[in-house]
Amino acid sequence: TADTIGLTIDARKPGAVINKDIYGQFAEHLGTGIYEGMWVGPKSKIPNTKGWRNDVVGALKAMHVPLVRWPGGCFADEYHWKDGIGPREKRPVKVNTNWGGVEESNAVGTHEFFDLVDLLGADAYVNGNLGTGSAQEMSEWVEYLTSDSKSTLANLRRKNGRDKPFKVAYFAIGNEAWGCGGNMTPEHYADLYKNVETFLRAPQQYRPKMIASGGNDNDVSWSEVLSKQLKRQTDGISFHYYTIPTGKWEVKGAATGFPEKEWMSTMSNTLRMEDHIRKNSAAMDKNDPEKKLGLFVDEWGTWYDVEKGTNAGFLFQQNTLRDAVVAALNFNIFHAHADRVRMTNIAQMVNVLQSMIITDKDKMVLTPTYHAFEMYVPFQGAASLPLTLSNNPQYALDGASVPEISASAARGTDGKLYLALVNTNPAQAADVAINVPGQAIKAVKGRVLTAAAMDAHNTFQAPQAIKPAPFSATAVEGKLTVKIPAKAVIVVAVE
Ligand code: AHR
């Protein structure tokens, strides 16, 4: 019909591989993100393995977490790794100055973190301390983590329970150097980075990818300066962008009970990620046309006002269908830029900002964002495929508008063709006619995530209020049209 949207996938032209690390997570020492939410200690009544909650670890494993970034965030630039090794009862208690001024017991340190990633079957991304640390402190951490020698530090690691070096996939030198990481200029940071990186020596087979901490929001100067200055000493530059409904830090907007106006502004603000990636990639292209460097979006997601009655420093917020739609829109953007965006970390994994899981004592619930991540698993390591949308209307409200449908396709590692579709319109379903030149499509089969309310969410009383449901459509007379419900995320295999 005239209203039908056209979607053509060119399955004959696979593009860049979607790195599994695009689906990375972030676990900072912040609020109950680590303590309580994941770490309860080996003596807890809550069933755990080496101190990590079995329920939470099991759920995270089921969503195939490929990578975890730790220990911050802003926390990283005040974290001294030697506080977090050796007998736990002897570790110093510090103040978490960034996040609520609460006590930091250092119960979770290097070995505990690697227990967690081992339990998850994930890779590790360790963020070093440039702010209050030194080249020596970081260099010793890298030696402790990666040396297979009989050096004193490597032997200390053995004494603390780990014989072989840890596998560190990524190591970042500082975080948000423009802000909480030290209020620097990109030029000053670049000089410090070059100095520190020189001394981060790891055996070749254990060498992490080195990350330079980059810019945020509209500021591309960091990508410009760092891609020029650090080309030979880094594997990539990070970038942070958070989606705030009102666009204002003072009053960000509520996680639930929001008006449609804030649904719209959340959609339009999150879609700015595309423009940010384009601009940063273009800046990097000038100095790195071969795209050797990655653009690592190592913090992204929604940031709302904290829930009433909670510690403002804990960044605790509910998570609704709107968050799942935000996640899927960002995945589609990352896939389209898979040649440059090779790793990202959503903020954050448990109980903080746009989390996968919310816990309360021994209970946990999976959020709609969890379901979006888990539905998109077939895209991990898949080859992105070009697609075109035609006749795609705008969803408009009060002068603002965004494209109604966002889509992404890829050839999975299992050889199947996968398609993800998102409908940003909270009130209207959309018909999409799917066409794969050279292939007669018989059906699409997969799952849909949607609900009646824009702010549908799971609670401890109703933990399954929103979850994916089976979804399929079959071709009629060789033509396949999919009806995408309002405010929905769909992932299907195309047969
Ligand atoms: O994710 C919360 C905080 O946001 C991080 O610690 C910091 O890097 C960013 O400002």
Confidence of residue 116 (pLDDT cuts 50, 70, 90): very high
The per-residue pLDDT for range 50-86, each reduced to its tens digit, is 999 999 999 999 999 999 999 999 999 999 999 999 9
Q: What is the mean predicted confidence (pLDDT) over 233-262?
A: 98
The per-residue pLDDT for range 10-20, each reduced to its tens digit, is 999 999 999 99
Q: Is the CB of 176 under 6 A from ligand 1?
A: yes
Task: Tell me the CATH number at 241.
Answer: 3.20.20.80
| 121 and 144 inside one domain | yes
| Ligand 1: centre distance to CA 62 (Å) | 26
* pLDDT exceeds 90 at position 2: no
Residue of minimum CA distance from atom 9 in ligand 1: 73
Q: Is the CB of 298 under 6 A from ligand 1?
A: no
Could you tell me if 350 and 341 are in contact, meaning their C-beta atoms sit under 8 angstroms apart?
no
Could you tell me if 56 and 350 are in contact, meaning their C-beta atoms sit under 8 angstroms apart?
yes
User: Which residues contact residue 456 at a Cβ distance below 8 angstroms, ignoring those fewer than 6 apart?
Assistant: 320, 321, 368, 465, 466
Show the domain range for 436: 5-11+385-494
Ramachandran assignment for 381, one of left (phi > 0), alpha (psi -120 to 50 degrees), beta (any other): left
Residue 7 DSSP SS3: strand
Give the Å distances, CA to CA, from 215 to 156, 271, 414: 36, 18, 36
Q: Is the CB of 177 under 6 A from ligand 1?
A: no
- The CA angle 202-208-214, to the nearest 5 degrees, is 125
Residue of minimum CA distance from atom 7 in ligand 1: 73
Reported ipTM exceeds the 0.90 cut:
yes
Q: What is the mean predicted confidence (pLDDT) over 262-283?
A: 98
Confidence of residue 413 (pLDDT cuts 50, 70, 90): very high
| β-strand partners of 350 | 357
Q: What is the mean predicted confidence (pLDDT) over 382-388?
A: 98
Q: Kindly report whether the peptide bond that precedes residue 428 is cis, defined as omega within 30 degrees of 0.
A: no
Q: What is the mean predicted confidence (pLDDT) over 123-128?
A: 98
Q: Is the CB of 71 under 6 A from ligand 1?
A: no
CA atoms within 13 A of residue 465's CA, in its CB half-sphere: 19
Ligand 1: residue of 129, 176, 350 to mutate (most ligand atoms within 8 A of CB) is 176
Atom of ligand 1 nearest to the CA of 315: 2
Could you tell me if 384 and 342 are in contact, meaning their C-beta atoms sit under 8 angstroms apart?
no
| 346 and 469 inside one domain | no
**123-128 vs 67-70, strand pairing mode:** parallel
| β-strand partners of 396 | 401
* H-assigned helices in 176-293: 186-198, 221-229, 260-270, 272-287
| 256 and 114 inside one domain | yes
Give the Å distances, CA to CA, from 238 to 65, 284, 397, 487: 20, 12, 34, 31
Mean pLDDT across the chain, nearest whole number?
A: 97
| Ligand 1: centre distance to CA 260 (Å) | 27
Q: Which residue carries 């997969």 as its tokens?
A: 446
| 391 and 357 inside one domain | no
The per-residue pLDDT for range 313-323, each reduced to its tens digit, is 999 999 999 99
| β-strand partners of 238 | 296
Count the Cβ atoms, other than its own, within 10 Å of residue 17: 17
* H-assigned helices in 364-467: 368-375
Q: What is the mean predicted confidence (pLDDT) over 344-370?
A: 98
| 437 and 293 inside one domain | no
| 369 and 421 inside one domain | no
Domain end point (choices 344, 363, 380): 380
State the Rg of the chain over Cα.
22
Q: What is the mean predicted confidence (pLDDT) over 236-256?
A: 98
* pLDDT exceeds 70 at position 446: yes
| 157 and 82 inside one domain | yes
Atom of ligand 1 nearest to the CA of 299: 1
Domain count, the chain: 2
Residue 197 DSSP SS3: helix
Q: Out of 28, 140, 262, 299, which one is annotated catalytic? A: 299
* Among the listed residues 214, 99, 113, 130, the one whose alpha carbon sits nearest the alpha carbon of residue 169: 113
| 144 and 270 inside one domain | yes
| 43 and 167 inside one domain | yes
Does 176 participate in catalysis according to the annotation? yes
| 192 and 298 inside one domain | yes
Q: Which pLDDT does position 215 carry in this prediction?
A: 98
Q: Out of 176, 197, 374, 404, which one is annotated catalytic? A: 176
* pLDDT exceeds 90 at position 430: yes
Q: Which pLDDT does position 478 carry in this prediction?
A: 84
Residue of minimum CA distance from atom 5 in ligand 1: 73
| 30 and 151 inside one domain | yes
Residue type for position 268:
S
Domain end point (choices 335, 363, 380): 380
Share of the chain above pLDDT 90, in %: 99
* Among the listed residues 33, 52, 63, 39, the one whose alpha carbon sits nearest the alpha carbon of residue 370: 63
Confidence of residue 1 (pLDDT cuts 50, 70, 90): low
